[in-house]
Amino acid sequence: MLPDTLRRLEFEKVLERVFDHISSDGARQKLRSRGFARHPAELEEWKAQCDEAIRLQLGFSPLPDGPLRDLREDVNLASIGGVLEPTVLLSLMDTLRTHRRIFLFFEGLISEEEQYPKMFQYARRILPQRHLEERIEEVVADDGEIRNSASVKLASIRRSIQSSEAAIRRKIDSYLNDRLLADVLQESLVTMRSDRFVIPVKAEHKRRVPGMVHDRSASGNTLYIEPMALVEMNNELRELRSEEQQEIYRILLELSGKIGEEKEAILNNQELATHLFMLFGLGKFALAINGNLPQTASGRIILKKARHPLLDPQTVVPMDMDFGGEAKILVITGPNTGGKTVALKNLGLACLMHQYGLPIAAQSGSVLPYFEDIFADIGDEQSIEQSLSTFSSHMTNIVQILKRAGENSLVLLDELGAGTDPQEGAALARSILIELKQRGSMVFATSHYSEIKEFALTEAGYENASVEFDVETLSPTFRLLMGVPGSSNAFSISRKLGMPESILQRADHFLEGQSAQLDELLSLLEKQRTEGERALEETKREKAQAQEMREELQRKLDRLDQQREKMIEQAKDEARELLFTTQEEARSIMKELRALRSGVDFQAMEKLQQRLSKAGERLRKKKKKRQITHKPPISLIEGEAIYIPHLQASGRVISPVDENGNFRAMVGIIKMSLNLQDVQKTEEEPSYTKSSKRGDMEVAVVQTSLDLRGKDVETARMELDRFLAQAITSHPPKLEIIHGKGTGVLRSFVLEYLKKNEYVDEYRLGGYYEGGDGVTIVKLK
């Protein structure tokens, strides 16, 4: 791409905006150096990688951030025997840690590898250097000092240094505390000169402290003397410090050598991490501008709600465009300052960003071609006083474009033919467009010449467009209208600004009839189109509001259905709990009855029989004929009898019905919440038992056969619960459960149910005369 094209379309500013979202200098440099795609396959690969980075951040989280310093110079130095400074080692450690964190980030997403194969292709090749991280951390402290833990020898030397310093300080303290030397010392403090401990002595008393003079004060009144008794001790301390520096050098040399040995792995990790940082930076940029990656299609441009990425998305007017196929030249016409140049720049910048593999500020579904080159002649000077220089500048640019433009080029020409005689400019513009069309270039040209839009209307391969202009506000709306040639609106604008009507009428006579009629027709068409679009937008808004109301109503209905299902499940759970409690009580009574059989204690048996009758009353009620309404009741009053079909149980209302149809009812010994939709009125509570007398004891007559054919598993479970609960209170010798043969699902359920029931002693499939495989015979304990 020509540098002038990039400058005119402000591409560098867009790159700087992208760089704001990339935290690594190396990743920024990598993006800048890769340049524009050199062929379509390369562009598609870049877009595929960027797409994964965008989706990964939308679905999960951003790549772990951290320092990613350029390590090449330091690692190369270490590989040839150089020694790295402690601060460099700390920086290198932080970068190695970033490599490892990136690797672990993708390890945590291993189940998503099929969704992001290109990201994992880079991440999997990272080889974390954890051992180097740990060794650097063991050697170098956060402040850049070498730790005692760096080596056993270093720790030993430093202990000796501490002991030597302590001995010297004790010796110096003896001087400072000596009363005979009180008038000799300038002040009672210890100090250092030339890395040796000294004491400050008044110059006139220097002979009273034998030793070596290392320094004197600026005034000359104080001498810094190393007493002879300290010379040997200071020598020893100096040797220890020299040993310390030698050991530190050895440690750093050894550690640098290990880093040099891993040069290839470290630099490979750095390259992979830098690439991932670059891609995730592009993903952040896409999210920041609410952008998308356009599809690539030859000879077709579709932009959906395209925006300039540098402008405020809250104020900018998005642009729609659908162009291509047989048409290769788009002529955008309309008045000056009507927004044509903005549309041209927006399109050109979108194409440049696409060629660079960047997301564009447009909705998903946008389509752009791959161009081998993009040219732009967009001038900023539009002053009439500079018309000559403007025309010369435009022509100079266009001459250069004509030298290079070819079949797969995009050419953007702003105000083609302007700045000179209108008739000559229009003729020159038409000739330039014809030349570029013959070369196969795709051209977008702006103009306000009527001759150009008339030419585009009549010639094949050309198409007109205009930028909508609001005559009422005298400002462009920046909406691109495809297929609609623009009107200059010169008369309308002048009339709006207060130009006398007589002058406008005279000017109208000066125009050639056909040209005036064309402008008048275009103005009328534009007005009708604007009114039609407004009506369409109003219809769309009303439709959207209606749809929103329907969706809200559906959500309310869904919530009611969920509440109803929840209430049904709650009622089922409560019914099962009641059944379980009754069964437990019946089992207890039966055990006591069996225990009393041998003793025949009639009084005790009578009491147990009464308990048994009461316990079974809830489950032995036999259903009588009811008069039930075919619709849910409109209202109920407290004490009224009800029947709950989905529980096959009766109850009574114990609370008033609220405005939503909810109320409380007593079903057996259970209080539950119901809705009018769940119940039916009944004249009489259902009864499940009838009794006969034997002696003085009331004995329940229990059904010994249960037919489950045609029922689903859940219904069969409830009926089995009820059936066995009734049976265990009278303990018949044999029970018969009819489930049929069919698919075998119901039979399998019955057998599994009986297997887990603690009251069942044994069970088997029926014999030949009992119904065969369609019947199960049960014996209770």
Choose among 95, 105, 179: nearest CA to 129.
95
State how beta strands 442-447 and 409-413 pair: parallel
Tokens of 327: 């048409």
Summarised one tens digit per residue, pLDDT across range 616-668 is 555 444 333 333 444 577 778 888 888 877 666 778 889 998 888 888 888 66
The per-residue DSSP string of 690-714 comes to -EEEETTEEEE----EEE-TT--HH
Question: How many other C-beta atoms can be found within 10 angstroms of the C-beta atom of residue 227?
Answer: 20
Which of residues 506 and 161 earns the better pLDDT score?
A: 161
Cα separation, 541 vs 341, in Å, equals: 31
State how beta strands 649-653 and 662-667 pair: antiparallel
Does position 290 have pLDDT exceeding 60, yes or no?
Answer: yes
Summarised one tens digit per residue, pLDDT across range 18-72 is 999 998 999 999 999 999 999 999 999 999 999 999 999 888 878 888 899 999 9
Burial 341-370, CB ≥16 within 10 A → b, else e: bbbbbbbbbbbbbbbbbbbbbbbeebbbbb
Burial 251-278, CB ≥16 within 10 A → b, else e: bbeebbeebbebbebbeebbbbbbbbbb
For 599, the 3-state DSSP assignment is coil
Are 742 and 735 in contact, with CB atoms under 8 Å apart?
A: no
DSSP H helical ranges for 177-321: 228-261, 263-288
Summarised one tens digit per residue, pLDDT across range 117-157 is 999 999 999 999 999 999 999 999 999 999 999 999 999 99
Does position 385 have pLDDT exceeding 70, yes or no?
Answer: no
Summarised one tens digit per residue, pLDDT across range 239-285 is 999 999 999 999 999 999 999 999 999 999 999 999 999 999 999 99
> What would the mean pLDDT of 444-450 be, rounded to a whole number?
87
Q: What pLDDT is stored for residue 281 in this prediction?
A: 95
Question: How many other C-beta atoms can be found within 10 angstroms of the C-beta atom of residue 334?
Answer: 28
User: Which contiguous run of DSSP H or E holds residue 412?
Assistant: strand 409-413
CA dist 552 to 540, 546, 549, Å? 18, 10, 5
Least confident of 105-109, 185-189, 234-238, 448-452: 185-189
Global pTM value: 0.61
The DSSP 8-state label assigned to residue 721 in this structure reads H
Summarised one tens digit per residue, pLDDT across range 512-539 is 544 545 555 555 556 666 667 677 778 8
Are 778 and 734 in contact, with CB atoms under 8 Å apart?
A: yes
Residue 310 makes CB contacts below 8 A (sequence gap 6+) with 10, 13, 14, 17
10 Å CB burial of residue 685 (0-12, 13-18, 19+) is middle
Q: What pLDDT is stored for residue 670 in this prediction?
A: 57
Question: 3-state SS string over 122-159?
Answer: HHCCCCCCHHHHHHHHHHECCCCCECHHHCHHHHHHHH
Question: How many other C-beta atoms can be found within 10 angstroms of the C-beta atom of residue 141?
Answer: 15
**Domains of the chain, start order:** 3-129+262-288 (1.10.1420), 150-256 (1.10.1420.10), 295-498 (3.40.50.300), 564-681 (2.30.30.30), 702-780 (3.30.1370.110)
CA dist 155 to 86, 139, 163, 165, 758, Å? 18, 12, 13, 15, 75
Classify 583 in phi/psi space as left (phi over 0), alpha (psi -120 to 50) or beta. alpha
- pLDDT tier at 596, thresholds 50, 70, 90: low
Are 48 and 122 in contact, with CB atoms under 8 Å apart?
A: no
What are the backbone angles phi and psi of residue 77, rounded to the nearest 5°?
-60, -45
10 Å CB burial of residue 695 (0-12, 13-18, 19+) is exposed
Cα separation, 350 vs 179, in Å, equals: 89
Tokens of 471: 């005559």
For 320, the 3-state DSSP assignment is strand
